[in-house]
Structure 1
Amino acid sequence: MHHAIFVALSTILLASHWSNAAAQETVSQERFSIRDEYPRTGSHIKDDIAISPLPPYKSYHELTPEQQEIVKARYEQMGEGDEPPYPEKGMAGIYKVLYEVQKRILKEGILDMEVEVDPEGNAQNVTVFRTPEALANEAIAMALMRTKYKPALCKGQPCSQKFLLHAMFTVGK
């Protein structure tokens, strides 16, 4: 039997673009995971269901300045006082939905979606750019639409902006 594992890559890939070698080294070494609720049959060890260089249960403001920079690096022209939208309760809820979807589809590939978030932190619509399985899009989009976000800040003021989701689905044994 295969066990599905979802790995979040959006921020891992960004580490290679950093010019600050010390920050890059710190980011590339840190890994946070969410474990499955139950261990595999015959084991007491729970499998990782999501892996990320960002702590999944922390809000944007609970992240370290270095971790916030990882999030901001995916957005062009982020100035002083600018912040991207981010799930209010962190990425854990989204990761769990992605894992549940992956358990059903058991496909490998890249997921690229964006969510338009209004100045109040509400999702307005979802756009799918790449997916490992079209049948999974609706469930993931619904989860993204139900998520409450910290709104983006443009020059210190709440504004509309897209939340970018990039993930890699993998299947392991």
Structure 2
Amino acid sequence: MTQPKVGIVMGSDSDLPVMRDTTEVLEQLGVEYEIVISSAHRVPEKTAQYAQSAEERRIEVIIAAAGGAAHLPGVIAALTCLPVIGVPIKTSTLGGVDSLYSIVQMPRGIPVATVAINGAKNAGILAAQIIGVKDPAVREKVRSFKQELAGAVAEKDKKLQELGVTAYLEQMNK
């Protein structure tokens, strides 16, 4: 087994349904990962140890997901020089805006790349793109993935042009 290149950290197991999108896209792109639960507030020592030892484990990018007072990505970014991608998790109280603001409003010098609320798939793609800077095989898989996305849009447009708006919408709603 090869060493994981991406570390995925969640503040709670309740984040796992969202973060499954990250693991799926990384698997699709052939990028190894590890995944752990570690809370910046409940187990700060474990979180610090994880962040500080990531380079030794050959992690190249860390994706950190958290909801509410979402300090996990920022704490990890403060403790490592590796790129950190934050995934704000949707909350029942403020719809994830609280999580988004907690992650995106980092102080100068401690950047966290931040994706959309529940944007776990984009976090995985971004991590693969970062790794692809030095790994041509991953870069080519990302290129193919994006070409597939473009092809799907072209197919939908072709279908729309053939069917027209009403028939297209009828097929969508079946």
TM-score band w.r.t. shorter chain: under 0.3
- Higher RCO structure (Cα 8 Å, ≥6 apart): 1
Bigger Rg over Cα? 2
Greater share of strand: 1
Greater share of helix: 2
Question: TM-score, length-normalised on structure 1?
Answer: 0.26
